[in-house]
């Protein structure tokens, strides 16, 4: 009997350990494959030049630039909106109100919507409705914002990542001890003073975690930007909000599926994937550094 | 019925959390300059009563109450009452020390900052820290984190932080429940001094603490005020047998 129990214990330990190993193996294989095939193609020219010869030669600088610009724009849009939503939901709204239930339900559903649907939504709502409306109102019907561009792509990604930011921010607000709030209220603080002086400083870290998660998610998505702003090939960088742009993920998609010579582009493809990973890690890393800086400053004051 | 020198008058006050009745028909006065001890077993409504006096229960979504509480004649339930201002007049110290993130100085400056800054802040800090018997221990490290203090020191910091608002009334919710005897003694000494300037309502689980420091003591049981009287009388010749049983340690 006891041998049987010991065997079952051993079996479960081995099984769970094996699962962990599989995850590790997958990461190693994916990263290793990309690194082995992609690293030789990396060069200064590759990250600083434009694509040439039907994208079989040259670099991918426009796509790197476009990705970074897109993610920054998206972050600038989603963080204020998501943080404000979370603060309202958690701090101001009556918790049993119907509106709050509806908003939460909407957020949960938003998180479950496939990325391609966001792309179509962006095309319909942002490009055609909002953009077309802007053109009709302010540009006399001339085409300015009623076309796919970096602004609409960034906003579409912002909608996609909104639930992430809201959930992370709410989590951080919930983590502020009730006793802190009560102590501040008992000292005659108004609701806004409690928020401003006690709750928000404590939850900034969590809000930035939301931003980091949003960046990770947003930088890797292709489907939402396909119809809303990403370009197959552009000889120039986006300079205005209504310019189209190249993006690494979309560039990879294009090269794998629509290149005139897939064999010839394969090395470039690998290197592009590597660069996409590096850019995503880089953006993440920057956000993590910003967060730890802010946390340290908060601890000092 | 209103007593000339009562600071707070509670009349027929009942309170509920959802459907649970926490207080039933409590009438009690807090007299100017006294230390009113409130004793009774856990769950008897002591904290609910205390938190009704500065309307801190408002933060509880499902809290309801009836009856009246008057502070210097002002009905607390009056919609025109500025709750933030009221809470500066009626300060509170909690059972568990709640230092807020930041330095000792930050903690002390917080209350006044809610009300606009004051010019004589350092002098006021020294005064309140002395009143809380903490000055000698922290005068050289006001810039250090409030979390670096011991539990007893943190609680005295919370007392000083509340005193920074120069309140009329001080509500203490089992302020010594987690503290060692020496820290407890320091807080009790501080209260003896403080009652010259403020009125104190002290909720305590420690019957002996009430007998040591309270001028009058009220005994709460299951949401009702059983009796209230001068401390010596309540302990030696209580009117109710249940009071006698509680203060002599037979239950609770």
User: CA-nearest residue of chain B to A183?
Assistant: B98
User: CA-nearest residue of chain A to B114?
Assistant: A189
Closest residue to B101, CB basis, from A187, A188, A202: A202
Q: How many other β-carbons are positioned within 10 Å of the β-carbon of residue A175?
A: 11
Closest residue to A179, CB basis, from B96, B101, B165: B96
* CB atoms B98 and A197 under 8 Å: no
Type and span of the H or E element at A182: helix A178-186
Which band of pLDDT confidence, cut at 50, 70 and 90, is reported for residue B2? very low
Domains in chain B and their CATH numbers?
Answer: 34-53+81-218+227-247 (3.40.50.300)
Chains A and B: how many Cβ contacts under 8 Å?
65
- Distance CA(B105)–CA(B109), nearest Å, equals 6
Q: Which two tokens stand for residue A70?
A: 């897109």
- Distance CA(B64)–CA(B16), nearest Å, equals 5
Which band of pLDDT confidence, cut at 50, 70 and 90, is reported for residue A71? very high
- Distance CA(B230)–CA(A163), nearest Å, equals 59
Which residue's structure tokens are 């008992």? A186
pTM of the model: 0.80
Q: Which two tokens stand for residue A294?
A: 């802010």
* CB atoms B101 and A185 under 8 Å: no
Task: Provide, as residue numbers in chain B, all residues whose Cβ is less than 8 Å from the Cβ of A177.
Answer: 98
Q: Which two tokens stand for residue A183?
A: 């102590």
pLDDT per residue over B36-84, tens digit each? 999 999 889 999 999 999 999 988 888 999 999 999 999 999 989 999 9
* CB atoms A185 and B87 under 8 Å: yes
User: CA-nearest residue of chain A to B106?
Assistant: A301
Closest residue to A190, CB basis, from B84, B101, B145: B84
Does pLDDT of A221 surpass 60? Answer: yes
Residue of B30, B22, B68 whose CA lies nearest to B202:
B30
For residue A265, what are the contacts with CB-CB under 8 A and spacing of at least 6?
A55, A56, A255, A259
- Distance CA(B151)–CA(B67), nearest Å, equals 37
Which band of pLDDT confidence, cut at 50, 70 and 90, is reported for residue A244? confident
- Distance CA(B252)–CA(B246), nearest Å, equals 7
Q: Provide the mean pLDDT of chain B.
A: 91
pLDDT at A56: 66
In chain B, where does DSSP find H-type helix? 46-53, 83-89, 104-114, 121-131, 135-138, 151-163, 181-194, 207-213, 231-236, 241-247
To the nearest whole percent, how much of chain B has pLDDT over 70? 98
- What number is the average pLDDT over the span A143-172? 91
Count how many Cα atoms sit within 13 Å of the Cα of residue B92 in the half-sphere of its side chain: 31
- What number is the average pLDDT over the span B117-127? 86
Beta-bridge partners for B90: B169
Q: Residues 96 to 125 of B: which have CB under 8 A from any A CB?
A: 96, 98, 100-102, 106, 110-111, 113-115
Distance, first Cα to last Cα, chain B = 33
Q: How many other β-carbons are positioned within 10 Å of the β-carbon of residue A3?
A: 7
Type and span of the H or E element at A267: helix A262-300
Mutation target for A interface from B18, B81, B102: give the one with most A CBs within 10 A: B102
B202 with B37: CB under 8 angstroms?
yes
- B139 SS3 class: coil
Q: How many other β-carbons are positioned within 10 Å of the β-carbon of residue A38?
A: 22
To the nearest whole percent, how much of chain A has pLDDT over 90? 44
Type and span of the H or E element at B39: strand B35-39
Sheet holding B199-203, edge to edge: B90-93, B169-173, B199-203, B35-39, B216-221, B224-230
Task: Provide, as residue numbers in chain A, all residues whose Cβ is less than 8 Å from the Cβ of B91.
Answer: 186-187
pLDDT at B252: 67
pLDDT per residue over A4-63, tens digit each? 999 999 999 999 999 999 999 999 999 999 999 988 888 888 888 787 776 667 788 888
pLDDT per residue over B82-102, tens digit each? 999 999 999 999 999 999 998
């Amino acid at each position: 009997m006891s041998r049987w129990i010991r065997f079952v214990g051993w079996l479960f330990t081995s099984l769970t350990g094996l699962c962990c190993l599989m995850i590790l193996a997958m990461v190693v294989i994916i990263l290793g494959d990309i690194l082995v095939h992609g690293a030789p193609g990396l060069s200064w020219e590759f990250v600083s030049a434009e694509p040439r010869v039907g994208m079989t030669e040259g670099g991918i600088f426009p796509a790197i630039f476009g990705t970074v610009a897109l993610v920054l724009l998206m972050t600038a849009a989603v963080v204020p909106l998501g943080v404000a939503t979370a603060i309202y939901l958690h701090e101001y709204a009556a918790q049993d109100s119907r509106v709050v239930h509806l908003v939460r339900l909407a957020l949960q559903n938003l998180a479950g919507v496939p990325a391609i649907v966001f792309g179509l939504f962006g095309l319909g709502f942002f490009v055609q409705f909002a953009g077309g409306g802007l053109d009709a109102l302010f540009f006399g019907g001339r085409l300015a914002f009623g076309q796919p561009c970096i602004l609409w792509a960034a906003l579409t990604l912002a909608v996609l990542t909104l639930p992430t930011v809201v959930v992370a921010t709410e989590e951080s607000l919930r983590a502020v001890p009730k006793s802190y709030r009560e102590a501040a209220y008992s000292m005659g603080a108004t609701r806004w003073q409690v928020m401003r002086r006690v709750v928000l400083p404590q939850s900034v870290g969590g809000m930035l975690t939301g931003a980091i998660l949003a960046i990770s998610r947003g930088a890797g998505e292709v489907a939402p930007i396909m119809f809303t702003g990403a370009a197959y090939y552009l000889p120039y960088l986006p300079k205005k909000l209504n310019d189209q742009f190249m993006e690494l993920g979309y560039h990879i998609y294009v090269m794998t599926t629509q290149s005139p010579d897939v064999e010839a582009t394969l090395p470039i493809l690998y290197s592009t994937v590597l660069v996409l990973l590096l850019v995503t890690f880089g953006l993440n890393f920057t956000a993590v550094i910003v967060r730890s800086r802010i946390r340290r400053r908060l601890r000092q004051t | 019925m209103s007593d000339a020198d009562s600071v707070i008058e509670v009349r027929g006050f009942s309170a509920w959390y959802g459907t649970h009745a926490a207080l039933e028909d409590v009438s009690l006065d807090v007299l100017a300059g006294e230390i009113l001890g409130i004793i009774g077993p856990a769950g008897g409504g002591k904290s609910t009563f205390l938190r009704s006096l500065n309307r801190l229960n408002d933060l509880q979504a499902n809290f309801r109450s009836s009856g009246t509480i008057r502070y210097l004649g002002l009905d607390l339930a009056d919609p025109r009452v500025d709750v933030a201002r009221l809470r500066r007049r009626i300060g509170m110290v909690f059972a568990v020390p709640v230092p807020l993130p930041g330095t000792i100085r930050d903690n002390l400056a917080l209350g006044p900052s809610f009300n606009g800054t004051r010019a004589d802040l350092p002098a006021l800090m020294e005064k309140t820290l002395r009143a809380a018997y903490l000055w000698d221990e922290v005068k050289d490290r006001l810039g250090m984190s409030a979390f670096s203090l011991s539990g007893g020191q943190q609680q005295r910091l919370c007392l000083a932080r509340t005193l920074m608002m120069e309140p009329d009334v001080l509500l203490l919710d089992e302020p010594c429940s987690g503290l060692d005897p020496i820290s407890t003694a320091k807080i009790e000494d501080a209260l003896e001094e403080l009652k010259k300037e403020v009125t104190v309502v002290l909720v305590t689980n420690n019957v002996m603490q009430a007998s040591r420091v309270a001028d009058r003591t009220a005994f709460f049981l299951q949401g009702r005020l059983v009796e209230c009287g001068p401390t010596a009388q309540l302990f030696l010749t209580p009117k109710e047998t249940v009071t006698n049983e509680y203060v002599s340690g037979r239950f609770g």
